[in-house]
Structure formats: C-alpha cells, structure tokens
Structure 1
Amino acid sequence: MSQEQLSAPEVTRDRIHTVDDESFVEENVCIVTGAASGIGRATSLVAAANGLTVAATDLDEEGLEGTVSKGETLEVAGSIEPIAGNLAVDADLERLVEEAASLGDVKYLANVAGLQHIDSIDEFPMEIYDQIHDVMLRAPIYLSKLCIPHFRETSDGRGCVGNMASVHGHYVTSDKVAYNVSKFGLRGLTQSIAAEGDGKIRSFSVSTGYVKTPLVTNQLADTAEQRGISVDEVIQDVMLGQSRVKEMMEPVDVANLFLVGFSRLGRHLDGGDLLFDGGMTLTYE
C-alpha cells in the first residue's frame, strides 16, 4: 500500500450496516463529535441511515455541511443537524447538548473527534498536549456528564456512550504521548460509565488499528521524519507491520461498529472494548 492508496472511498449505501432496532427512530438523537470528516462523518451517516436524528458537531463548519450533503445524497432515513463548536470550550459543549436535546431525546453519544502530534516526550509541547487532552479526553468526559441526565429522562431511562479508542489504548507507539494517554483514558471513561450505569446506561469503546482517515494521512510525513524512514516504510512497517490483515479499515467499517454497539445487538456490551485491529495487539512473530 502506498500513500496514494490511503484515501478512503466515499461512503456508499451498500456499505452501511442496518439493524432493526425499536430505538432507532427519528425522535432519538445521537451526538457525534468530529463529524466533519473521517470516522465522525461516517458514524453520522450510518446513524442517520438507521433512522436516528444526528447532532453532528465539529469545528469545521464547511466539513459539517459536506456531511449533511452526503446524507442527503444517500437519502438517509433520519436527519443530520450540524452544530458547530469547539470541544475545548465548555460553553460550546453545553450548547451542543442543549441544542441536541431540542431535536429530540438524547439517547446516544459517539465521542470520535481526535487530534495527533508527533514528538518525543522530552520535546512534546505542553500547549499541544493540553489541546489534545481537552478535545480527546476532557470533552468526552464532560459530554458524558451532560448527556447522562438526558439518557435518564427518556421513556425507558436508557442510553449509551461509544468512545473511539485505538490500539493505542492497549499499547503505545513512540512519539505520541498525548494521543496514547488520551486513548488509555477513554477506556477508563468507558468502564467508569459502565460501573455507574446499572446496565441501563451502557458504554463501550472501539479500538482499531490504522484507519484511512485524514488524521492518519496527515501524520505520515512527521512520523517518517521522526523515525528517519520513508513515508512508504511508515505505512508498510509501522502501520501495517504487526497487523495480520494487510489492509487498513475504512471509516464506514468503524462507523458500523458504533452502530452495532448502540443497538440491541450490543445490550451485553457494557464497559467492553471492540478490538478490531487485524491482530496487531494480540499476536506477534
């Protein structure tokens, strides 16, 4: 695989998994962060295709409009409502949940948004660490805090939080300390929600290897420079080297996992992690 092959194809209707679930109706709202591109956009499309109203949020307003437009092209059964905001600003998080609640019953939260920065620990800029922490860990915690009371107010008192973790929430690679710490933290958040949810408010995390997203393609050059290797070597040796499945997942593949986790099929998935990593973390040569 070369850098040219890393761009994910457009989401098509036949790639979207659907589940017959009585809670997947337009009256119920799914909040999705990072919804302007990549996994967040795909999760918004999959949730809306399954009949939910999606409160799609991102700092990138143009990207959000692209997500809405794609949903219209796919003629999704639900709707996608864009709510621009900055996950590092508490007032924006509060406004997001308030606006989502005005659309219907807040039932699902998909914490997908992510950032990346490549540097060794001794060189890592703390202002960038703080930014990554705020977006990738603090915001999911605060959004969960804000959403849980809404879950309890629904007719059955149920709700679910899905967190985008990673193989980096199981083991780490070098030069990504902020990302690594955030992903481990998301798994802690997942289990904390499960511990307090009494089986009615569930949580799960999704851990994948490298996915064809802008977050991945944008880190190629920095990783290559940091390790003193070529971009193609980063792809073949770093990203796919330990995977037994020699292809990257696409955003819609990950979005489908969120859908299953939210659905009745995931009713026993509570605090658990969906590890879809091609064998990266559990096998070795």
Structure 2
Amino acid sequence: MSPNEVDLTEPTLMTDDLLVLEDPHFGPETTAVVTGAASGIGQATAVALAANGLTIVGADIDEDGLEETTELAERLDVPGKIHSVPTDLTNDADVETMIDVAAEEGELRYVANIAGMQHIASVSEFPMEKYDLLLDIMLRAPFLTAKYAMPHVRATDHGVGAIGNMSSVHGHYATQDKPAYITAKHGLQGLTRAIAAEGEGTLRGFSVSVGYVLTPLMVNQIEDTAAERGISEQEVVEDVMLGQARTKELMTPAEVANLFVFGFSRHSKHLNGGDLLWDGGYTTTYE
C-alpha cells in the first residue's frame, strides 16, 4: 500500500474504543433496540451500549451476523447482555415483535435505527424495486419502530428515553447516483423532528450524520461507484469520499457508536430534534 492509499480493512473493535458514561438509566433494567446489529455501525452500537450496562435487543435479518455480535460482546466482556432478535424490517409483524421483546426484557427507553443499505445508480436508471426496498428499510421501518416504541418509553418513570436515527451527510446534501439513499436520509431528518415534537421534552428524537465510515457497506459501494463513474477504486476513496472532507480519514464504526451512547445519555438532554453532525467538514467547508 502506497503512503497515499487508504487502508480499507475494517478495524477490530476493542474495549478502549468505546465511550462509557455514568447515567441513572444506563443499567440492566433498561433496554435499547439496535437495528442493523449484525455488522458495521449497528454491531458497534449494540456492543457500545452493552458496555454501558444496558440490555440490548439486537435486530437484523442476518442471523449469523447477530451471532457474531453477541460473541464479540462476550469476548470483550461487556457488562450488558445482547439478545438477538432476527428481524425483517420490511415485515410489520417482525418490527412489532422486536419492540415487544425489548419491552419484555426491561424498561424500553432507547432505540437506535441504524439498519441501512445502498444502491448506486442514476435517477433515470434506478430500479424501482430497489428504491422501494431502500425506503422501506431506512424510512418506513424507523417510523414503524418509533410508532411501536414510543408508548413503551412514555410508560417508564418520567417517560425518559430517546430514539436515535442514523442519518448521513446525505441527509444534508446530495451527490450523484444515490437518489434513494438521499431521499431516505432527508426523510429521516423530518421523522426525527416529528418525534421530538411529540416527545414532550423527555422522550427525545435525534439523528447522527457522518461522512464515510469503514464498514462492509461502504467497502462494497466503492466498486459500484468506480464502475458507475468510470474511475479507479482509489480515486473513489480519495476524490469522491475524502475529497471534500477536511479530516482526511474514514470514521470507524466505534466512533459512530459513541455518538449514539452520548446521544442517549443524560449529557444530551438538550439534543432534541437535532442532528449530531460529525462529518469532518464535508458539509460546512469548501475550497
């Protein structure tokens, strides 16, 4: 690898990578739902919340990946437990079951809507079945999850809790060849604000927006973007992914997971309807 090349190996999650905070609701009696928990940001967030002592319901359609997440948590010896709930987020009954299980495990206070997917194509060439699938997973499912979860959060003492949504720099601006993803992320910003508007101050909604994160999803889209734009994979990383950023390195899943830990904690009581924009300067600077 040349000095200018970016290492695309997903980092190994270590205990020292995880933010651990003291919070009156961070304990085994509190449950948190994490979607997309089988890999990447979702996996790191499930483990990070378990490191803070919470009981986690990790949801994903990938059952093998969920098993890897629980094994990772056990290997790191985190205090919280992760319960795997295989979930198809396009199936309404599965989503309802996911929330029911979380409520049975303890006081459901937190939801991290992280599951996502990507498809690279222009608007005119975008397959509608892919558009529908992306919107179902990344916008409809978070809405339905919030619909089922909010009554449980309200039923806890003082109704304290939060729903955190995984947005993106693409929830703030648009680039070419990602129309469905961009539409979903912009919509998710609106859902976040709607949750905050109805949360009466104690049930908060917030979103997390980051640039490119070193996950399997990101690595897989490099090849697709290279093919779509007719450039090399290294040019995709250097010019497309990091070209506009001021911080010239990709984020790690643990760094994103820590934002959800912070967002759920008592330190974020004024984060309500807002967005944690950790983008390395993508959307706020230009040359």
State TM-score, norm by structure 2: 0.98
Matched ranges for 1:81-160 at <5 A? 81-160=83-162
Amino acid at match of 1:38: G
Residue range with higher mean Cα deviation, 8-17 or 57-66: 8-17
**Cα RMSD (Å):** 0.8
User: 1-side partners of 2:198 and 2:99: how far apart?
Assistant: 21
Decide which of 61, 64, 76 is 1:59's aligned counterpart: 61
Are 2:240 and 1:241 equivalent residues in the alignment? no
Partner of 2:203: 201
User: 2-side partners of 1:169 and 1:6: how far apart?
Assistant: 24
Amino acid at match of 2:264: F
Partner of 1:252: 254
Q: 1:218 aligns to what SS in structure 2?
A: helix
TM-superposed CA distance for 1:12, in Å, is 0.5
TM-superposed CA distance for 1:8, in Å, is 2.0
User: 2-side partners of 1:78 and 1:210: how far apart?
Assistant: 29
TM-superposed CA distance for 1:10, in Å, is 1.2
Q: Which runs of 5+ in 1 are unaligned?
A: none
TM-superposed CA distance for 1:232, in Å, is 0.3
Partner of 1:33: 35
Task: List, as ranges, runs of 4+ consecutive aligned residues in structure 1 with deviation greater than 3 Å.
Answer: none
Decide which of 223, 226, 234 is 1:224's aligned counterpart: 226
Amino acid at match of 2:33: I
Amino acid at match of 1:206: V
Decide which of 15, 18, 22 is 1:16's aligned counterpart: 18
Q: 2:34 aligns to what SS in structure 1?
A: strand
Identical-pair percentage = 54
- What is the count of residue pairs matched by the alignment? 284
Q: Deviations over 1:230-266 (max 9, x none)?
A: 0000000000000000001000000000000000011
Matched ranges for 1:261-276 at <5 A? 261-276=263-278
Amino acid at match of 1:219: Q
User: 1-side partners of 2:101 and 2:17: how far apart?
Assistant: 30
Partner of 1:70: 72
Amino acid at match of 1:245: T
User: 2-side partners of 1:2 and 1:61: how far apart?
Assistant: 34
User: 2-side partners of 1:145 and 1:84: how far apart?
Assistant: 20
Q: Deviations over 1:1-40 (max 9, x none)?
A: 546x112211101111111001001011000000000000
2:47 and 2:69 in contact (8 A); partners too? yes
